[in-house]
Amino acid sequence: MSLRDPKFAETFTGVAKETLAEALANDALLYGQRTQNMFEALIVSLGQYKLLKTEDVGVVHPIGMFTAPDFRVILREGSQWLIEVKNVHDSDPGRQRFRIRKQDYTKLQNYASAMNCPLKLALYWARWRVWTLIDGADLAPADDKLGIDMFKAAQLNDLSRLGDRLIGTTPPLRLRFVADKSKPHSISPTGEVAFTIGEFGVFSGATEITDTTERNIVWIFMQFGDWVCNEPQAIMNGNELEAIEFEWSPKDRPNEGQNFEMIGAISAMFSRFYATQTLGEQGVVQTQTELRPDWLAPLIASEEPSTKLPLWRFIIQPNRQLLPASTGPN
């Protein structure tokens, strides 16, 4: 159809509308695109890269021989990877396994080999909100496909190279809203109290956090970490309300007697944040959100020690000694 045909715009709009309706009805497509965009946003927020580029744009010839992975990333030390992002969902929490058809993997690997660049797979285990980054060669034959389970992928996870960390800090974390003493803050005969917030305080253990960057870190922990928020507690002085306090604590204390507990992986916290921006009661409501460059970088930086907020950063290394000699796609 000629671009000059007066009916071209009408025809194009009709086809686009039909295609969009089909896409919006395809949950697998929506969740897959959301996961791909989430990975990009995660890497940008971590900030531990030199260059990140969308790779799977345009046509690759000869047709049918190659599939471009989703991203190319150049690490800070200069090495580079091609990364294919996959959303893995299984309603059974104990049966988490990724599978890919051999012909689909072969096309990805053909492209990576032609580019002389290692192929990585970024797998998002949606049931657990866990990210793993593995080598393509880590996949093993599974019936007529190639696959890997979540627990093996976790042992081979290389996402720390892009900044992911397992974080520990001192519990509990507390958010205190202090009543403005110049305004009413007494309890009425009916047991009610109306008060105006005069200021707020953020605490790690018994230590108040005053540094702006550290307060922002605590706020991330409170919203998206693994700890649980208790019921609000009133701090009283006789008949007057001094403050309302919220407290976040671990569900249990495996490090009882120590002054820290794990609060979660940075990538998992980011996944929770991304869910608040893109998911709703109907499922996916947005496939992407505004990028936040270096938002999570202060959680990684260790050049300057924290002034008040204790942070333990655990860098998980892949353990390839656990792989059997026969592992790897044929």
* pLDDT, tens only, 195-225: 999 999 999 988 999 999 999 999 999 999 9
For the chain, the domain total comes to: 2
Residue written as tokens 């991304």?
274
Query: In this structure, are 149 and 95 located in the same domain?
Result: yes
The percent helix, strand, coil of the chain (3-state, each to 5) is: 30, 30, 40
Q: Interhelix angle for 27-46 vs 8-24, to 10°? A: 80
Query: In this structure, are 30 and 63 located in the same domain?
Result: yes
Query: In this structure, are 28 and 90 located in the same domain?
Result: yes
- Is 26 part of a structural domain of the chain? yes
Closest CA to 247 of 270, 231, 267, 263: 231
Mean pLDDT of 245-254: 92
CB atoms within 10 A of CB 209: 22
Query: In this structure, are 112 and 179 located in the same domain?
Result: no
Query: In this structure, are 190 and 157 located in the same domain?
Result: no
- Is 83 part of a structural domain of the chain? yes
Domain extent, residue 309, equals 166-314
**Of the candidate ranges 55-64, 201-210, 270-279, 304-313, the one whose mean pLDDT is the lowest:** 304-313
Total-model pTM: 0.90
Token pair belonging to 52: 């990140």
Check whether 304 has a pLDDT greater than 70.
no
- Is 329 part of a structural domain of the chain? no
DSSP 226: S
- Report the percentage of the chain scoring pLDDT > 70: 96
- Is 330 part of a structural domain of the chain? no
Q: Is 284 left (phi over 0), alpha (psi -120 to 50) or beta?
A: beta
Query: In this structure, are 234 and 287 located in the same domain?
Result: yes
Query: In this structure, are 232 and 257 located in the same domain?
Result: yes
Check whether 75 has a pLDDT greater than 50.
yes
Query: In this structure, are 109 and 42 located in the same domain?
Result: yes
